[in-house]
Amino acid sequence: MRYNIADLFESVADAVPDRVALVSGDQRRTFAELDERATRLAHVLASQGVGPGDRIGLYLQNGAEYVETMLAAFKLRAVPANVNFRYVAEELRYLCRDAGMKGLIFDATALRRVEEAVSGLPDLGSFFIVGDDVTGDTTLEKALHFETALASASAKRHFAERSDDDLYVIYTGGTTGMPKGVMWRHEDAFHACLMAANPMGPPPSRPDEVAERAKAKAPIAMMTAAPLIHGAAQLGTLIALLQGHKAVISPRFDPHLVWQTIERERVMTLSLVGDAMARPLAEALAEDSSRYDTSSLLILSSAGAILSQGVKDQLRALLPKLALLDNYGASEVGSQGMDAGGVTKEGGIRFRMNANTVVLDDDLRRIEPGSGRVGRIALMGHIPLGYWNDPEKTAKTFVVADGVRYVVPGDLARPEADGTLTLFGRGSQCINSGGEKIFPEEVEGALKHHPDVFDAVVVGVPDARWGERVTAIVQPRAGARAPALEELTAHCKRLIAGYKVPRALHVVAEMKRSPAGKADYPWAKALAIAREKEEV
């Protein structure tokens, strides 16, 4: 047995076969059922020529089938590849070609998009349709219905020996460009993403300990509200499964559905992505705080985006016993740190990072804690191999200095004397206005503290005098009036320095974000520039 995700999951399934492993809406699977269905699918994939290293696309919304497909791919030493379910045919075609996909599993409602996207991709020959919403014939000659395929397949595990070096690829879109696949070895992913995010005591000295610990502990319910196309949601689900806990996923993000599920499944921990999910949840609960039994919920954590102070205050008022945690991490680093004390005077956020985290200057030298200098966060130790099919970006992000290999995703931070880091945000989004560096996250947090602001994204727009002008895109709360720039200026000046305050405002009916809740900065910047041209 190895530090291989399929090996580890099978060992847990054998140790606690009758426990509930997965819940998604009306779908429920015990560990034994989840393992058997994944095994059956793996055999079907193998019969269609899928083998070690082959990529399998998951063009799915949340459901048990998503998790079953991931596990089936791992069992074959194949590689599941997450695909944004909102992609149109051209975007889907790009990702299928970039990943060199051998198979694609998709929702029935996406059939016509898939037919259009896969024309001219001869290597993509294995198709599985999830759901019954198929109307008319399909041009996909060998397409199989997911449930029909599983019913006739073997439930026995006879698979080849697996490896610590098997690949787990997470496609990450970030805030710019088309997504890139982050390549993890299973062993590195286990230690950096699955162990670090939710430690099971001291690191196991052998893989067998994972199942032993799962059997020894009482199960709890751990829920993710984010879509499984997001790395944090995938990892959160795997964390629950490898601990023998009940992994709860929401079929779609609907605030009331999430609260209903928390009540029904007695969820103890909830993970989500930033204000885009946390604020609607708070708003739904505020409508009638006695409507749902939330007594089981002890921890709410955000990964991939930081919760604003305004949203934290709102949630604490509604759920005073709830622990609110900001987790620092990314698809390139796994779980790297946790909130250690809120926002500083400069607008940075204090995080306590793991022992393999350092801050590097522009010459890739480590910055000493307490020096007051700002650099880029770097991680060593268990890190990815690089980006799939992108050696240029790999060379920029994965660097070697003094014989040590680091991943440097781009976030700016200052190492403090007490061992914490003050995080200032992604350098690529930093606004330079008159020589002053302004981090959008800080300004967004101030804006979202206004009672009439539901969501906000801040960008830098070209300015002849200042280089860049701080510009806010704001979505008002439902039923609230749109706040004026002068009002927001006065509000923000009570929270942040004057040079950081937005100089321009554009109101939108709905903010554009990724399905996982991440800000779409290119869209926001393009919108601001276009509107300002119209006003000239």
* DSSP state letters, 320-376: TT-EEEEEEEETTTEEEEEEEEEE-TTS-EEEEE-TTEEEE-TTSPBPPTTS---EE
CATH assignment of the domain containing 357: 2.30.38.10
Torsion of CA 230, 182, 60, 56, to 10 degrees: -160
**Pair 463, 403 in one domain:** no
Q: Is 536 helix (H, G, I), strand (E, B) or coil?
A: coil
Q: pLDDT tens for residues 415-428?
A: 999 999 998 776 66
**Pair 417, 398 in one domain:** yes
Answer whether residue 384 is part of any domain: yes
**Pair 389, 440 in one domain:** no
**Pair 62, 91 in one domain:** yes
**Pair 303, 441 in one domain:** no
Beta strand 167-172 with 180-185 is antiparallel
Instruction: Work out the burial of residue 289: count CB atoms within 10 Å of its CB; fewer than 13 is exposed, 13-18 middle, 19 or more buried.
Output: exposed
**Pair 166, 52 in one domain:** yes
Identify whether the C-beta of residue 249 lies closer than 8 Å to the C-beta of residue 234.
no
Answer whether residue 156 is part of any domain: yes
Answer whether residue 233 is part of any domain: no
d(CA 111, CA 99): 20
**Pair 290, 362 in one domain:** no
**Pair 416, 442 in one domain:** no
Identify whether the C-beta of residue 171 lies closer than 8 Å to the C-beta of residue 82.
yes
**Pair 506, 385 in one domain:** no
Answer whether residue 57 is part of any domain: yes
Neighbours of 195 (CB within 10 A): 22
Q: Is 28 helix (H, G, I), strand (E, B) or coil?
A: strand
Structural domains of the chain, count: 4
**Pair 66, 201 in one domain:** yes
The pLDDT assigned to 176 comes to 45
**Pair 502, 438 in one domain:** yes
- What domain range includes position 211? 5-216
Answer whether residue 332 is part of any domain: no
Identify whether the C-beta of residue 432 lies closer than 8 Å to the C-beta of residue 444.
no
Answer whether residue 302 is part of any domain: yes
d(CA 475, CA 482): 8
SS3 content of the chain, % helix, strand, coil (to 5): 35, 30, 40
427, 460, 493 - which closes a domain: 427
Answer whether residue 401 is part of any domain: yes
372, 392, 427 - which closes a domain: 427
> What is the crossing angle of helices 309-318 and 275-287, to 10°?
30
**Pair 413, 444 in one domain:** no
Mean pLDDT, consecutive 10-residue stretches, the chain (536 aa), reads 95 98 97 98 95 96 97 97 89 90 94 89 89 74 90 94 96 66 96 71 85 94 94 94 96 95 97 88 92 96 83 93 89 85 64 92 94 94 94 94 94 91 76 78 89 93 84 93 94 87 94 79 91 80
Within 8 A by CB and 6+ apart from 172, the residues are 179, 180, 181, 182, 231, 330, 331, 332
Answer whether residue 334 is part of any domain: no
CATH assignment of the domain containing 500: 3.30.300.30
